Amino acid sequence: MKRCWSVAAVLAGILIGYTLPVALTPSALPVSDPPATNAVPITAASVSTSTLERTERTAATTTTTTPSRQGIFLIWATGGLPKALADGLVTNFEEISVVKGDAVELSSGGRLIPLDALALNPTTHAFYDRAAELGRLEPGTVALGETSARLRGAGPGTVLNLDGIDFTVAAVVSDALIGAAEVVFVIDDPISPVSTDRYALVSSDMARQDFENLVRSLYEGPAPLRIRTEGETAWLRHGDAVLPQVFIKEALGEFSYTQVGGSTFDQDETFVETNIVTERVPLLGELRCHRLVVEMLAGAMTTLVEKGLAHLVEPAGFAGCWFPRFISPAVGVSSGLSRHAWGAAIDLNAGSNPVGSSGNQDARLIETMEGWGYTWGGDWLVPDPMHFEFATRR
């Protein structure tokens, strides 16, 4: 194995969050009992379980476990993996796979459905694909993750129109192998619509800290850089701190849209009518959210009231839940969909917790929200301390 031993430092954190106002109309919401506290996290090893089991698990737990002798490391940066860093990794390590990622659009029945897409080299990725699940992938074809295939009833031989080009499904592969992406292209396919280097997987026997020191010595910034290893994150991919989009769809529904321009779009009416509700929530008043997410939110706010912690939430600081829009390019890891588009994200105490700051959210508020199935944006690579989003249904 090739190595280089210079050292530097760069910043860290975890992902993104987003803020927006919503339209409000009245209703009433019964509050269910608080959730159990023994939910099992979604991990690469557990992803073959049933749909109901998977949606009842959390997506992102962080531990401090030490990698095995030959560990697999994840490296990603906000806005994309810089070419100089990718080249440096290729120079210093033998077992490396650089993976591209972007949002693509599936055209189906006159509708456009946004998909989370990756592109990789099956040859360099073979070290991480010991079962050769991607062995049939070649230019003009794609692989689907198992959950994505199930959502759209597709399999080998299915033809999908992606960004206006027809691709044939060559294989359906395990979600764990592809970071729970929905669709995977060949990285050097000239017609692939995926072009942005997003992350690298590296196999190394270096100690955790030595590896990080080496990688940071190759990185000139300025974007925040994330280095993970097995056991430190549920999904070895960019944006690893949140539930992958395909599981958001599985739990809360998939929608099509018509892009209007800018950062917003028109969401299909069936999804909105079926899932987006206007309810009255303790402390926050009337708001619009996903019907499942708002039940969790009402439960969390009721818990705060019952514990005498209502003062931890400033009603005027509520900055929205449902808003159909894309991730802001200024802070996002891709041009994909904001979780607000599902009505699955909540912005609390926004005035004193802006994006990019450490914020001042009380630990008891964070603990309560997490106990009701949300993940907090304050620990993300680009901190968003106002932001709480759906991580598990309980």
Q: Where in the chain is the domain with CATH 3.30.1380?
A: 44-62+242-390
340: pLDDT strictly greater than 90: yes
CB 210 within 8 A of CB 202: no
Question: For residues 383 and 332, which has the higher predicted lDDT (pLDDT)?
Answer: 383
For residue 271, count other CB atoms closer than 10 A to its CB.
20
Q: What is the mean pLDDT of the chain?
A: 84
Which pLDDT band, with edges at 50, 70 and 90, does 369 fall under?
A: very high
Looking at residue 329, its pLDDT comes to 58
Query: pLDDT tens digit string along 112-144?
Result: 999 999 999 999 999 999 999 999 999 999 999
Looking at residue 160, its pLDDT comes to 97
Q: Please, what is the Cα angle at 17 between 14 and 21, to 5 degrees?
A: 170
Query: pLDDT tens digit string along 209-234?
Result: 999 999 999 998 888 999 999 899 99
Query: pLDDT tens digit string along 239-255?
Result: 999 999 999 999 999 99
Which pLDDT band, with edges at 50, 70 and 90, does 335 fall under?
A: low
What is the CATH number assigned to the segment(s) 44-62+242-390? 3.30.1380
Compute the half-sphere exposure of residue 308: CA atoms within 13 Å on the CB side of its CA.
Answer: 0
Query: pLDDT tens digit string along 262-316?
Result: 788 999 999 999 999 999 999 999 999 999 999 999 999 999 999 999 999 999 9
Question: Mean pLDDT throughout 162-183?
Answer: 97
Question: For residues 57 and 376, which has the higher predicted lDDT (pLDDT)?
Answer: 376
Looking at residue 393, its pLDDT comes to 61
CB 122 within 8 A of CB 188: no
* Token pair for 380: 């993300």
Lowest mean pLDDT among 47-51, 178-182, 268-272: 47-51
Query: pLDDT tens digit string along 7-17?
Result: 333 333 333 33
Amino acid at 14: I
Looking at residue 85, its pLDDT comes to 96
Among residues 134, 131, 109, the alpha carbon closest in space to that of 123 is found at 134
Which pLDDT band, with edges at 50, 70 and 90, does 41 fall under?
A: very low
Residue 343's alpha-carbon distances to 233, 247, 267, 359, in angstroms, are 25, 15, 12, 23
CB 111 within 8 A of CB 152: no
Q: What percent of the chain has pLDDT over 90?
A: 73
Which neighbouring-strand residues pair with 168? Answer: 141, 159
Q: What percent of the chain has pLDDT over 70?
A: 80
* Token pair for 200: 């690298």
Among residues 17, 22, 59, the alpha carbon closest in space to that of 386 is found at 17
Query: pLDDT tens digit string along 51-101?
Result: 333 333 333 333 344 434 579 999 999 989 999 999 999 999 999 999 999
111: pLDDT strictly greater than 50: yes
Chain centre to alpha carbon of residue 237: 9
Among residues 391, 345, 336, the alpha carbon closest in space to that of 183 is found at 336
The DSSP code for 74 is E
CB 228 within 8 A of CB 25: no
Looking at residue 69, its pLDDT comes to 53
Q: What is the DSSP string of 111-160?
A: EEEEEEEEEE-TTTTGGG-TT-TTTT--TTEEEEEHHHHHHHT--TT-EE
If phi > 0 it is left, if psi is from -120 to 50 it is alpha, else beta; for residue 164 that is left
Q: Which are the contacts of 268, defined by CB distance < 8 A and separation ≥ 6?
A: 111, 255, 256, 257
Integer Cα distance of 94 and 276 in angstroms: 49
Q: Radius of gyration (Cα) for the chain, nearest Å?
A: 21
The contacts found for 27-33 with CB under 8 angstroms, 24 or more apart, are 27/277, 27/278, 27/279, 27/280, 27/286, 28/279, 28/280, 29/279, 29/280, 29/281, 29/294, 29/295, 29/298, 31/282, 31/295, 31/298, 31/299, 31/302, 32/295, 32/299, 33/299
Which pLDDT band, with edges at 50, 70 and 90, does 338 fall under?
A: very high
333: pLDDT strictly greater than 60: no
Residue identified by tokens 């925040």 is: 224
Which pLDDT band, with edges at 50, 70 and 90, does 50 fall under?
A: very low
Residue 65's alpha-carbon distances to 61, 232, 233, 237, 286, in angstroms, are 12, 7, 10, 18, 43
Looking at residue 261, its pLDDT comes to 74
Among residues 368, 388, 392, 390, the alpha carbon closest in space to that of 308 is found at 368
Chain centre to alpha carbon of residue 89: 24
